[in-house]
Amino acid sequence: MSGAAKALGKVAVLLGGSSAERDISLMSGRGVLAALQSLGVDAQAFDPAERDLSELKRLGIERCFISLHGRHGEDGTVQGALELLGVPYTGSGVLASAVAMDKVMTKRIWLAEGLPTPRHVWLPPGEHTVEQVQAVPDQLGLPLIVKPPREGSSIGITKVQTADQMRAAVELAARYDQDVLCEEFIEGEEVTCPVLGEGPGARALPVVKIVAPEGAYDYQNKYFTDEVKYQVPSGLPESQEQDIQRIVLAAYRTLGCRGWGRADLMIRARDRKPFLLEMNTSPGMTTHSLVPMSARAMGIDYAQLCLLIASQARLDAQPAVAGTPSPSAA
């Protein structure tokens, strides 16, 4: 066992959970668990949907690697519970997790900071009338995107091509969230950019370009097919890659994120301008996931990445530890 692995102590990998992304979380968590164990870390799986979090103290867990996705996993709730238990955890704290999980709140903050994000219309509960829904295309144009603002993995999302598709799209999104987010559709290339670290020490990893069949980077293509092509290096001009990394770091720091995260963006075809779509504070770690892919391009393998993320686990009230390994040192 390496000194770094031993220093982590007893680790629980939180996986599964009760959100609509449970299946993806199980895949992520199992991968992380196997990777940590392969390095000699004393790690075990822990599914909060099947066990009470208070058991973590009884088991003597010294830190948690959060591999939960969606509600009750990356929305600040499990982070708050771990704060109360005093068990350090990976990723962003309570506030940053809660804000980043809500795409409407995230947009408000980014817009206030002058960061580029697509125009949007928010339909809160009680404002899904025929008139209100049909007015959205007049504001945003067509096509447009309708999505639940507090879900991930492309769940509940519709690309609306004609006005008569709006009602069904809003109803689908509303099955997953009482709020509905309607967003301007950005025609162009889809990219993603991970971040490791915290504050001034945070570093953006290489940009990954996503080329999906007919532009359908949906739930099925994300996790269960090999039809999507990923380019890393991205093939973008170096100046544009650096500009995207700069914007992503600003977006990450503005939300108060720490540990790790991943921003998804669109590059508008007509003028090559990048637009931030969302910030993921508990990204996927499956065989199809993008953070490991990007990290590998800079020489960090999957197991090293898991160890690096786990080493940065902490509580909101606990300052970052000086000397924490940087991405380049992994």
Domain boundaries, the chain: 3-90, 100-104+107-115+187-329, 119-184
C-alpha span between 313 and 11 (Å, rounded): 10
**From 28, 278, 282, 294, active-site residue:** 278
Angstrom CA distances, 62 to 24, 27, 49, 137, stand at 25, 23, 20, 51
Q: Any catalytic annotation for residue 264? A: yes
Distance CA 257, CA 76 (A): 12
Active site residue 184: no
Percent over 70 (pLDDT), the chain:
92
- How far apart are the C-alpha atoms of 143 and 189, rounded to whole Å? 16
Label residue 328 by pLDDT band (50, 70, 90).
low
Among candidate residues 217, 223, 252, 302, the one labeled active-site is: 223
Letter for the amino acid at 27? M
Confidence of residue 153 (pLDDT cuts 50, 70, 90): low
pLDDT digits (tens, 9 = 90+) for 210-266: 998 765 544 444 444 467 899 999 999 999 999 999 999 999 999 999 999 999 999
- Residue 149: Cβ within 10 Å count: 24
Helices 94-101 + 238-255 axis angle, to 10: 120
Q: Rounded to the nearest 5 degrees, what angle is found at the Cα of 236, between the Cα atoms of 224 and 306?
A: 50
* Residue of 150, 258, 262, 314 marked active site: 262
Report the alpha-carbon distance of residue 162 to residue 262 in Å, rounded. Answer: 31
Supply the mean pLDDT for the chain. 92
Q: What is the dotted CATH code of the domain comprising 119-184?
A: 3.30.1490.20
Catalytic annotation, pick one of 22, 234, 264, 282: 264
Q: Which of 153, 234, 289, 294 is catalytic?
A: 153
* Catalytic (active site) residue 187: no
CATH number of 3-90: 3.40.50.20
- The mean per-residue pLDDT over the stretch 102-114 comes to 97
280 in catalytic set: yes
pLDDT at 326: 52
CB contact at 8 A, 233 and 206: yes
Active site includes 153?
A: yes
9 is catalytic: no
Distance separating alpha carbons of residues 241 and 193, to the nearest angstrom: 9
Indicate the fold that domain 100-104+107-115+187-329 takes in CATH.
Answer: D-amino Acid Aminotransferase; Chain A, domain 1 (3.30.470)
Catalytic residue, from 19, 234, 280, 294: name it: 280
Q: How far apart are CA 298 and CA 308, in angstroms?
A: 14
Please tell me the pTM assigned to this model. Answer: 0.91
pLDDT tens, residue by residue, 298-309: 999 999 999 999
Q: 16, 17, 19, 21: which is the annotated catalytic residue?
A: 21
Q: Which amino acid is at 222?
A: K
Question: Which of 284, 289, 294, 302 is flagged as catalytic?
Answer: 284
